Amino acid sequence: MLLPSLLRTVVPLVAGWIIVALTHLGFSLDSDTARSAVTLAVAGAYYVLFRLVERLVEKAGGPAWVRGAAGALLGYAKPPRYRPTDDVADLVRQSRA
Question: In this model, does residue 85 exceed pLDDT 70?
Answer: no
Which is higher by pLDDT, 91 or 50? 50
Which is higher by pLDDT, 88 or 45? 45
Model pTM above 0.75: no
| 47 touches 12 (CB < 8 A) | yes
Query: Within its chain, how far is the Cα of 28 from the centroid?
Result: 26
| 38 touches 20 (CB < 8 A) | yes
In angstroms, the CA 84 to CA 26 distance is 44
In the prediction, which pLDDT does 1 show?
A: 55
pLDDT in tens, 11-56: 888 888 888 777 766 556 667 777 788 888 888 888 889 988 988 9
